[in-house]
Amino acid sequence: MTRDLVTALRPLLTAEASADAYVSGAEPADLEQAVWLLLLERLDAHDPPHDPPDWLRRTVRTEARRTRRTARHEMPWAGDPVDTSRTGEGYPELLALA
């Protein structure tokens, strides 16, 4: 059943992830991977979705919203996070990086 389900849902997941990724700013492949993982976790728990296409659509949208919320709180680094001006005693982690 798992192989047939994956084969049947692949085109739908690709289309849904592509559409929702554009809106959320995520990569379609990242959304696909997250949804496949959630599906496999459900199947492993012996709790398959009753309506797989509907479950897939809802899950893609949920993951896209989660990605959008997470991205709002992330801040890019302004520069190099490692201060290479400090070397020597007291900073063994910098010596390890050198």
Cα distances (Å, whole numbers) of residue 34 to 3, 5, 29, 82: 18, 16, 9, 31
Q: What residue ranges do the domains of the chain occupy?
A: 2-73
Triad 75, 32, 25: Cα angle to 5°: 35
Are 80 and 33 in contact by the 8 Å Cβ rule? The answer is no
- Please list the pLDDT of the chain residue by residue as tens digits (98 residues): 578 888 999 999 999 999 999 888 889 999 999 999 999 999 989 988 999 999 999 999 999 999 888 877 777 777 666 665 655 566 677 677 76
